[in-house]
Structure 1
Amino acid sequence: MGGGAAIRFRVGGSLLLAAYLLFVVWLTLRPLNVMWVTASNFTPFAGIRADLDMGAAEAVRRIGEGLALLAPLGVLLPLAGGRLYVSPWLSFARTVAAGALVSLAIELLQTGVPGQVVDIDSLLLNTVGVALVHLAVVPAARAGLRRRQEKKAVAALLREEPSQGATPTIPRVGIAP
């Protein structure tokens, strides 16, 4: 990617990332007016099992919400990084780790918000959502952008003026005795 395009991707990605994180903070850290709250869940998959016991429709809705909440980070974090040529596994690991840390920060901050409770299953579902979206979108998008960049480079080479031959040289002039 050219220098200007990379900067535009990074700036645009960073702005989108900041806007999305502000939305997530507003959504997850606002106080709720409820009559009662459930206890915190520190047992992995206990909340998911409880959702499945409520019925398929309710389980799909709740699990889907958990997967979808931070899923856009799977695309926004690499976009804000602006790297086109990077190891796919390194990018995946970095993105999933950052998504897990954001989810953990949200869960920890929820301890001080009335009506919000800590749920380990939310952390797991949020992280899986980030991973799934990253795997589904980022490798294909990067490959497409690389192909596009290579086509532009080939087209630029073909547009160059044809060579006018070798540069003329002056033969060595002998000096007479």
Structure 2
Amino acid sequence: MQRQGSGGNAAVVVRVIGSVLLVAHLLLVAWGGLLPRDVAWVTAPNTVPLAGLRADLALGPAEAARLIAEGLLLLAPLGVLLPMCEGRLDVSGWGSLIRTTAAGALVSLALELLQTAVPGQVVDVDSVLLNTLGVALAHVLVVPVARRRMRRRQASREGRPQGRVVTGNERAQGRTPRIPRVPIAR
């Protein structure tokens, strides 16, 4: 049985590729983030929002930019990979953004909580904020453009006007036939 709004073989390929890349990325992030560190001392956990960012900015612009970019880029691929795993083209842009950002925040929070059991790793609430912002930015910058392109490509293959979005029911049942108007005889 075909899932409603699936889009055929291309959607299946996108889902499979997205799922494989998502698992690979999460394994890489878990391996890097949960690796024990050999340090002589450990800083105190940062539970005050934006306090760590202020401390990063005090280190100078180059070091602050590097640390902030690391926080933004760590989970940013989730902003693209999670919608790829869903593989649907006809979803609400806002709904997709909210779901993806919430999932990114939960993954980041889980990573931070797991780090409490790893020697040398400390909890940093700013990491959760930066990781979540990175997921949202990646989603906003890539997903709407990619979906628009894929919709255009699908519309050209199906021979429909390009400005029209097809719903899942319409794709499953086919288009309603249109009867041309006939003038009234006098």
Q: Normalised by the size of structure 2, how large is the TM-score?
A: 0.82
Matching residue of 1:25: 30
Matching residue of 1:4: 9
Q: Secondary structure at the match of 2:40?
A: coil
Runs of 5+ unmatched residues, structure 2: 1-5, 161-186
User: How far 1:6 sits from its partner (Å)?
Assistant: 1.2
Q: Deviations over 1:36-68 (max 9, x none)?
A: 110000000000000001100110000010000
Matching residue of 2:173: none
- Greater fraction helix: 1
Asked if 1 retains the 8 angstrom alpha-carbon contact of 2:7 and 2:88, the reply is: no
Q: Secondary structure at the match of 2:36?
A: coil
Are 2:151 and 1:146 equivalent residues in the alignment? yes
Are 2:90 and 1:89 equivalent residues in the alignment? no
Tell me which of 43, 54, 63 is aligned to 2:59. 54
In the TM superposition, structure 1's runs of 4+ consecutive aligned residues that sit over 2 Å from their partners are: none
**Larger Rg over CA atoms:** 1
Are 2:89 and 1:77 equivalent residues in the alignment? no
Matching residue of 1:125: 130
User: How far 1:2 sits from its partner (Å)?
Assistant: 3.4
Distance 1:29 1:83 in 2: 33
Q: How many matched pairs?
A: 155
Asked if 1 retains the 8 angstrom alpha-carbon contact of 2:15 and 2:87, the reply is: yes
Distance 2:7 2:95 in 1: 22
Matching residue of 1:169: none
- What amino acid is aligned across from residue 123 of structure 1 in structure 2? V
Distance 2:39 2:9 in 1: 50
Distance 2:10 2:69 in 1: 35
Runs of 5+ unmatched residues, structure 1: 156-177
Distance 2:139 2:15 in 1: 17
Q: Secondary structure at the match of 2:143?
A: helix
- What amino acid is aligned across from residue 77 of structure 2 in structure 1? P
Q: Deviations over 1:154-174 (max 9, x none)?
A: 18xxxxxxxxxxxxxxxxxxx
| Root mean square deviation, CA, Å | 1.0
Are 2:40 and 1:35 equivalent residues in the alignment? yes
* Percent identity over paired residues: 64
Q: Secondary structure at the match of 2:116?
A: helix
